[in-house]
Chain A
């Protein structure tokens, strides 16, 4: 089985964005970049499927971005068990979902994967669209927000999260799934595998190599607006729920003076 995992590097969720006034540009220079956390579930699922099916299964991580994305590819994809990676090098930072999906489609169609796994959304733009668009463009079955995935030959049973419950979906490969928290627990890479990850193959491609134009954007981001200032937040860290509740009641009474 050929499995592709589409991944993205995003700013760490604790990154502080310096934006005092509305602006057309964001200063991204100080961002700490990590693998999109939902993509880590996709990587882990691909590796677990490979472990079940055996060595004939090949897992390829696909990413779009500059040289700086390689740290995440090596550590969070190749060191934990992906066999190889493909990096599309065209400048597509902050591109629309459809632009990204079109580029990924060219890769997936070229290589013919049986299974494509994506995170359910990237935590920077929160679009939640790339995976589904990719499946549609490839004319492939897809199930989004998956929390459980089982295979019987080419047939799959996927459980997806819906409002207030879950839904069980059956179908056959080729198929694409977008992965939700709870699907699995991503493993830590072992130190020997971190050292070996640099030796795994990474194919560099451009849209031209894939026989397509760099997809054009339909929209333009004009302004980033900082959120309105919120009141101060106090976090009660007591691990004992009863003691934490008591502390909360005390604060509400003595500091907030609302009870």
Chain B
């Protein structure tokens, strides 16, 4: 099959700068040449190809929207383009970059002390250190404000207790951003690997996001110095602000997964012959392809506008919610339709489609479920939050 050349039916990319097109080509080249040869085995083995982290760091894919500390300081549009290209490879690859950049480096850059920034940002940017983000608990998912992980002051130290669940990079991380309830509400802490009482365990039996490290974090009387608290993170709005950054990347990334499925299904339909002609020549198949590219193009319209808004400093949560909600659902629909076009072949891992389809089930749920984003937008337009009593 021909190489992947992206999906850009409305020529959004013509409005990009030379530098932005170069960023797209660089990330696309990395995904094509370095990641794609590994993804099938990684997915089968249920592991993330961690050997790519230092190259991702070298290229500048980790924390790319952060300025200073060896980070590139790119715009939101640039960051979106990166996520779109990464998730075209696999949602696990984009998740790795999202967690490292938006959920670990961003809170350190935004809420951390100078000492914390000096210690962690260059190492995380280079990929020599890996980070994870511990907010969700087994019984506290969409309502993280009810978390039961505690932070208890002990002289100049803190004692952390609790469990965090569904944590990307859990077992490989050198540092975890842990959110816990303290005397003054929810606070953030940096907990290093190998701290006494701190451990992790992989989650087995995943049918989705298999090329990603997902696990549990266990905090059993973990004693950390006061200097490990993120001084600027006060209350639940701090971790939610991190999630808003990550969701933005997901809204772009989902388009990459959809584009990968569309592109693959289109080429397959042009080659696959039944009844003496390519199946792309049948009206029902054309209708499916047209529906896919139309929805991808509409989704691109959302994120290109969202990027403009964010680059102009307009960053309301419900704006990102709409793009995440729409684009992930769109991508999941595209993956299912693409699988249909491939017929039986679509269920094997000779093709990328079932992998994307299974991944997108996770993406549909994480960083704010589809339903929660519906309620965030609902609250904005009606003035009545449905999720509060």
A192: Cβ under 8 A from any B Cβ: yes
Please, which residue of chain A has its CB at the minimum distance from the CB of B21? Answer: A71
B29 x A71 contact (CB < 8 A): no
A71 x B26 contact (CB < 8 A): no
In the bound complex, residues from chain A placing their C-beta under 8 Å from that of B59 are: 188-191
In A33-89, which residues have CB < 8 Å from any B CB?
70-71, 74-75, 79
A71 x B18 contact (CB < 8 A): yes
| Complex alpha-carbon distance, A195 and B79, angstroms | 13
The 8 A CB mask of B40-75 against A (1 = contact, 0 = none) is 000000000000000000111100100000001110
B19: Cβ under 8 A from any A Cβ: yes
In the bound complex, residues from chain A placing their C-beta under 8 Å from that of B1 are: 235, 237
Interface of A is mostly: loop
A191 x B21 contact (CB < 8 A): no
Smallest beta-carbon distance A185→chain B, Å: 9
Smallest beta-carbon distance A147→chain B, Å: 20
B25: Cβ under 8 A from any A Cβ: yes
Contact of B18 (CB < 8 Å), options: A74, A189, A190, A235: A74
A191 x B61 contact (CB < 8 A): yes
| Complex alpha-carbon distance, A223 and B110, angstroms | 63
A11: Cβ under 8 A from any B Cβ: no
In the bound complex, residues from chain B placing their C-beta under 8 Å from that of A191 are: 23, 26, 59-61, 64, 72, 74, 78, 82
B350 x A75 contact (CB < 8 A): no
A198: Cβ under 8 A from any B Cβ: yes
Contact of A194 (CB < 8 Å), options: B3, B22, B30: B22
Interface size class of A (residues with CB under 8 A): 20 to 34
| Complex alpha-carbon distance, A235 and B18, angstroms | 35
Please, which residue of chain A has its CB at the minimum distance from the CB of B37? Answer: A239
In the bound complex, residues from chain A placing their C-beta under 8 Å from that of B5 are: 14, 32
| Complex alpha-carbon distance, A75 and B19, angstroms | 8
Please, which residue of chain B has its CB at the minimum distance from the CB of A189? Answer: B26
Please, which residue of chain B has its CB at the minimum distance from the CB of A235? Answer: B1
Smallest beta-carbon distance A187→chain B, Å: 9
B350 x A237 contact (CB < 8 A): yes
A238: Cβ under 8 A from any B Cβ: yes
B283: Cβ under 8 A from any A Cβ: no
Contact of B22 (CB < 8 Å), options: A32, A71, A234: A71
Please, which residue of chain A has its CB at the minimum distance from the CB of B20? Answer: A194
B15: Cβ under 8 A from any A Cβ: no
B2: Cβ under 8 A from any A Cβ: yes
| Complex alpha-carbon distance, A75 and B64, angstroms | 18
The 8 A CB mask of A178-210 against B (1 = contact, 0 = none) is 000000000011111011011000000000000
Task: Specify which of B26, B61, B74, B78 lies most central, judged by the most chain A CB atoms within 10 Å of its CB.
Answer: B26
In B349-387, which residues have CB < 8 Å from any A CB?
350
A190 x B19 contact (CB < 8 A): no
Interface of B is mostly: helix
Interface size class of B (residues with CB under 8 A): 20 to 34
A70 x B18 contact (CB < 8 A): yes
Task: Specify which of B25, B29, B58, B74 lies most central, judged by the most chain A CB atoms within 10 Å of its CB.
Answer: B25
| Complex alpha-carbon distance, A192 and B22, angstroms | 11
In the bound complex, residues from chain B placing their C-beta under 8 Å from that of A70 are: 18
In the bound complex, residues from chain B placing their C-beta under 8 Å from that of A235 are: 1
B60 x A198 contact (CB < 8 A): no
Instruction: Knowing A75-B25, A188-B30, A188-B59, say if A194 contacts B19 (CB, 8 Å).
Output: yes
Instruction: Knowing A190-B58, A237-B350, say if A195 contacts B18 (CB, 8 Å).
Output: no
A190 x B350 contact (CB < 8 A): no
A192 x B350 contact (CB < 8 A): no
Please, which residue of chain A has its CB at the minimum distance from the CB of B351? Answer: A237
Contact of B72 (CB < 8 Å), options: A192, A198, A237, A238: A192
| Complex alpha-carbon distance, A238 and B350, angstroms | 8
In the bound complex, residues from chain B placing their C-beta under 8 Å from that of A238 are: 350
Smallest beta-carbon distance B38→chain A, Å: 12
| Complex alpha-carbon distance, A70 and B22, angstroms | 11
B22 x A190 contact (CB < 8 A): no
The 8 A CB mask of B105-116 against A (1 = contact, 0 = none) is 000000000000
A195 x B72 contact (CB < 8 A): yes
| Complex alpha-carbon distance, A195 and B25, angstroms | 14
B26 x A14 contact (CB < 8 A): no
In the bound complex, residues from chain A placing their C-beta under 8 Å from that of B58 are: 190
Please, which residue of chain B has its CB at the minimum distance from the CB of A73? Answer: B18
Smallest beta-carbon distance A140→chain B, Å: 33
B72 x A14 contact (CB < 8 A): no
In the bound complex, residues from chain A placing their C-beta under 8 Å from that of B64 are: 191
| Complex alpha-carbon distance, A198 and B23, angstroms | 13
Please, which residue of chain B has its CB at the minimum distance from the CB of A74? Answer: B18
B29 x A188 contact (CB < 8 A): yes
6 further contact pairs, Cβ within 8 A, besides A14-B2, A71-B22, A191-B72: A74-B22, A188-B26, A190-B26, A190-B58, A194-B19, A194-B22
Q: List 21 A-B contacts (CB under 8 A).
A: A74-B19, A75-B18, A75-B21, A188-B29, A188-B59, A189-B59, A190-B58, A190-B72, A191-B23, A191-B26, A191-B60, A191-B72, A191-B78, A191-B82, A194-B19, A194-B23, A195-B72, A195-B73, A197-B19, A235-B1, A237-B1
Partner-B contacts on A (CB < 8 A): 14, 32, 70-71, 74-75, 79, 188-192, 194-195, 197-198, 234-235, 237-238
